[in-house]
A and B are shown apart, each in its own frame.
Chain A
Amino acid sequence: MNDAAVRKLALGHLWVAFGAFILACFMGEYQVLERSGLIDALESSSVYFASVSTHGVLMAFVLTTFFIMGFGYYIATTSLKQPLWNQPLAWGGFWVAVAGVVLAAIPLLTGNASVLYTFYPPIQAHVVFYIGATLLIVGSWVWCLIMIVMFSRWKQANPGQPVPLAMFATTANALLWLWTSAGVALEVLFQLIPLALGWIDSIDPGLARTLFAWTLHPIVYFWLIPAYTAFYVFVPKQAGGFLFSDEVARAAFIILVVFGLPIGFHHLYMDPEQAAGWKLLHGFGTFVVSLPTFVTGFTVIASLEIAGRLRGGKGLFGWIGSLPWTNSMVLAVILSLLMLIFGGFGGLVNASYAMNAMVHNTAWVPGHFHLIFAGTTVIMYFAVAYYLWPILLKKPLFSREMALVQLWTWFIGMTILTTPWHILGLLGQPRRISSVVYNNLLTLSWDPYELAMIVGGLVLLGSACLFIYNLAKTQLSPVQDGFVQEIEYAEPLHAVTSLPEYLNDFKLWNKVIAVLMFISFGVPILQFFFIDTFGSSAWGY
């Protein structure tokens, strides 16, 4: 197996991901400063919305997609112990995605795509932005294809054998992404690009929002599954124990994919184009997804409990103190789970049909998704990077202590940033605003929270710089003779020698997903073709 070539491929993807990440962090700090209105020189709604759009695209699409692809390639080759299938195609997908990012960046940075990362019409961006976004998605589909082919070929070569859990989870994510990206692909190809090119003179925002809702919520699970994968396949070993249950882990991934896909309508609770019954159905579905989250929490914490007790921890909770808190993977999972508790609670509020009205268009929502995405998810991306960097480069990490400081500061910064954000939402501050141009008692009461967010943002920016510095110093350090570190996957408490096919394959689940997607989105989408709706002309760019 040409391990060096795969390591280079993975590193290439991960550097693009983290390059996008650090740029977006600087933009994030600018945005909290601008929005606070405390520095007159920064006041500019056009620059603000260009920055927010770029920040969102870099974090939500570029960081995630490239990280997931790079991580996935390395998982596939190491867990299956197979060479990468069609390496030129993998590089082709990489360069297509990079070209898409570069293309999208041009209108974004020149203020011609200030449509936020959700790019809801009738706000319109320059057509180059949509083409760039499409290329990024096409590049990611190449990754999906390679993951599925490698999964299938391994199964053919090893009939009846359980697919390694890491690859099972990665393939689940590839399938989820293929299913969920179809919604936005339809929207971009048949609505946004024709509108931006002038082929059509109006657009149905209701249909576009429904198609985007198809994508918008499961995309969160696309981002989250690599974090869950690290929870299951790295954390138990790093903590000094065993994975509590391999089978339960597989079940959690299946439930997450199957029930995570058809639930996007809680983003449309306040929209008029969908009937209340459909929204309620999706609302119940959203609550169902809390099940795999609790199952994951239980399995990972149980694995940590085993490790803590094997390390001498006693009593009901004494094992927590016995865990190796100085291991970056273990520290990250503890902090990630803490943020998941609070972020998950926020998600339950968002999913509650009635209560959603209280928070829907408020600052609560960006507070929530920053806590879940930038908190729970991205902190695990850091941990994976700290774990993989020495393996990919064959050099020790520049500073393990710096990594621990970075993880703690990220957690502290995220807490300082997102707690006031949630409170501001409950106080009624709208989201998607660049500034408050009027003063009254209500808006003045927001000031202390805005100040706290600036501090939180600064802590996060410092933490992000530490992260990049540590990785870059490792990359640039001289090769150390004799340094060897191999990837180690956690062993389950009870070895898995055989599995029922429904826990080892996705054929059945693809059929179930097709049925659920048709039930959840069939009528809500088809209705647009059977009822008269009025299109909207584009505005913005």
Chain B
Amino acid sequence: MERMSEAERQRILESAPVGTWALMLIVGAGMVVAWLFLYYGVFLPRGGVN
């Protein structure tokens, strides 16, 4: 691991966590898609209770 300059360290500490935002968006979107799939693809096709 190469040595990091103090300026680079400060830049990291002050920068927005863009990777985290990206991960959260992917996970959130994945959950919405999975929920919709389960609702429209599995639950509704089973129909009502007879």
Contact = CB atoms under 8 A, between A and B. Distances in A.
Interface of A: 242, 244, 294, 297-298, 301-302, 304-306, 309-312, 315-317, 319-320, 341, 344-345, 348-349, 352, 354-355, 358, 426, 493
B23 to A, nearest CB: 6
B5 to A, nearest CB: 12
Nearest 3 pairs of A and B residues by beta carbon: A302-B17, A302-B20, A301-B20
A345 B42 contact: no
B29 interface: no
A244 B18 CA distance: 13
The A interface is mostly helix, strand or loop, or mixed, namely: helix
B42 A242 contact: no
A244 B39 contact: no
Interface in B2-47: 2, 4, 9, 12-13, 15, 17-20, 22-24, 27-28, 30-31, 34-35, 38-39, 42-43, 46
B9 A298 contact: no
A219 B15 CA distance: 38
Contact of A305 (B19, B34, B38): B19
Interface of B: 1-2, 4, 9, 12-13, 15, 17-20, 22-24, 27-28, 30-31, 34-35, 38-39, 42-43, 46
Given A301-B17, A355-B43, A358-B43, A345 B35 contact: yes
B12 A349 contact: no
Contacts of A493: 13
A305 B12 CA distance: 10
The B interface is mostly helix, strand or loop, or mixed, namely: helix
Contact of B42 (A310, A315, A358): A358
Nearest to B22: A316
Contacts of A349: 35, 38
Contacts of A304: 20
Nearest to A319: B19
Contact of A345 (B9, B24, B34, B46): B34
Nearest to A355: B43
17 contacts: A244-B17, A294-B28, A301-B17, A301-B24, A302-B17, A304-B20, A305-B17, A306-B13, A310-B12, A310-B13, A312-B4, A315-B19, A317-B22, A341-B27, A354-B39, A358-B42, A493-B13
A64 to B, nearest CB: 27
